[in-house]
């Protein structure tokens, strides 16, 4: 039995997919007979990132409070890979995206003076990340090809792709009811507004969408649904607990996940595990890697017309949704924690 720390950073008052994956990894390690625990490292606001990296670097993870050694660290997210340990695997979810693939968008919203400061911070973060991911960790795994490509594009850091399996939850399929489910944090990158536009397309008059999740974009999305005249057909349920999430997945016709350049998108595997197809977009990153077009869902152009066509197909044909869902479940069953642990464990 090995003693293993699973480390990830954690923004305050949030519970993102990276934390769900971290907790699921701890559960899988314990089920395999290991002594595993989650460590949450700081993730400070902009202008304080250096303090988070430094605090993580100075955290002692070689031994536990009882004096017994820690055998391995598995880190997931910036800056948790700054932890120092002789057996340290990084299973990367993402670096600070505002300084990488999201830099043009981030910079466009800054004043010239702020942009100059952030440019300096960006260079420092790039240098620190490259050092940490090439010198401080034993191996680097990426949770998707999208993340792997970013590692090569910014830093030329080699990695191996290992997709996270779904958590060990009681996924089930009760029915293929007449609504499409969206599970997402409500931010512009998740493109829930695109789903609203698709529902407003001609030929989608009977379509219903249930949105599960919360975020800063909620007010704007409600207003957008009203402007498009689809408020009664796009229902915002807010944040729900695990039981209600599983109920929604069990009953929906399919899941729509059109996020832009998503790192991985755990929702995709959760839908597959519930025997539900996923409709995503060609530029959605991780979800587009997982969905086999026409087999376990549909991969559409990132526009309202393309998304509406796919949603109309699966939404108007329950037997098709069931066939796609069965294939999706087989695909999910092939992504196992046993294989994942074989890749990640050094001990």
Predicted local distance difference test score (pLDDT) of residue 128: 97
**Nearest residue to 253 (alpha-carbon basis) of 306, 202, 298:** 298
Q: What is the pLDDT of residues 12-46, one digit of tens each?
A: 666 667 888 999 999 999 999 999 999 999 877 67
pTM over 0.85, yes/no: yes
Domain residue spans in the chain? Answer: 3-162, 180-333
Predicted local distance difference test score (pLDDT) of residue 15: 64
Residue 261, sorted as left (phi over 0), alpha (psi -120 to 50) or beta, turns out to be: left
Question: Domain spanning 3-162: which superfamily?
Answer: Glycogen Phosphorylase B; (3.40.50.2000)
Q: CA triplet 279, 281, 285: central angle to 5 degrees?
A: 110
* Local confidence band at 153 (pLDDT 50, 70, 90 cut-offs): very high
Cα–Cα distance between 295 and 279 in angstroms, integer?
11
Residue 74 pLDDT greater than 80, yes or no: yes
Residue 156, sorted as left (phi over 0), alpha (psi -120 to 50) or beta, turns out to be: left
Residue 136 pLDDT greater than 70, yes or no: yes
Cα–Cα distance between 231 and 211 in angstroms, integer?
12
Per CATH, which fold does 180-333 belong to? Rossmann fold (3.40.50)
Q: What is the pLDDT of residues 215-245, one digit of tens each?
A: 999 999 999 999 999 999 999 999 999 999 9
Report whether the peptide linkage leading into residue 228 is cis, meaning its omega lies within 30 degrees of zero: no
């Amino acid at each position: 039995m090995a003693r293993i720390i699973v480390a990830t950073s954690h923004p305050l008052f949030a519970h993102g997919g990276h934390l769900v994956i971290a907790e699921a990894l701890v559960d899988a390690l314990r089920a395999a007979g290991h002594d595993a625990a989650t460590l949450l490292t700081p993730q400070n606001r902009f202008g304080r990132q250096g303090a988070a990296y430094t605090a993580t670097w100075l955290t002692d993870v070689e031994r536990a409070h009882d004096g017994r050694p820690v055998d391995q660290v598995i880190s997931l997210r910036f800056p948790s890979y700054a932890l120092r340990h002789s057996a340290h695997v990084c299973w990367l979810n993402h670096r600070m995206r505002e300084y990488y693939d999201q830099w043009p968008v981030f910079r466009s919203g800054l004043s010239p003076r702020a942009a100059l400061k952030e440019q300096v911070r960006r260079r420092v973060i790039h240098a620190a990340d490259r050092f940490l991911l090439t010198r401080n960790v034993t191996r680097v795994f990426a949770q998707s090809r999208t993340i792997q490509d970013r590692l090569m594009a910014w830093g030329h850091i080699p990695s191996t792709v290992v997709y996270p399996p779904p958590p060990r939850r009681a996924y089930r399929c009760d029915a293929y009811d007449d609504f499409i489910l969206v599970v997402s944090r409500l931010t512009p990158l998740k493109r829930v507004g695109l789903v609203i536009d698709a529902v407003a397309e001609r030929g989608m008059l009977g379509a219903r969408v249930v949105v599960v999740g919360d975020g800063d974009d909620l007010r704007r999305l409600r207003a957008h649904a009203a402007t498009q005249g689809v408020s009664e057909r796009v229902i915002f349920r807010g944040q729900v607990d695990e039981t209600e999430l599983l109920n929604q997945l069990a009953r929906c016709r399919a899941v729509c996940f059109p996020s832009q350049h998503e790192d991985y998108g755990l929702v995709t595997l959760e839908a597959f595990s519930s025997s539900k197809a996923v409709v995503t977009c060609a530029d959605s990153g991780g979800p587009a890697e997982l969905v086999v077009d026409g087999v376990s869902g549909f991969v559409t152009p990132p526009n309202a017309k393309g998304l509406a066509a796919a949603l109309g197909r699966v939404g108007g044909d329950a037997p098709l949704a069931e066939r796609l869902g069965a294939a999706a479940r087989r695909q999910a069953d092939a992504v196992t924690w046993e294989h994942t642990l074989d890749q990640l464990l050094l001990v």
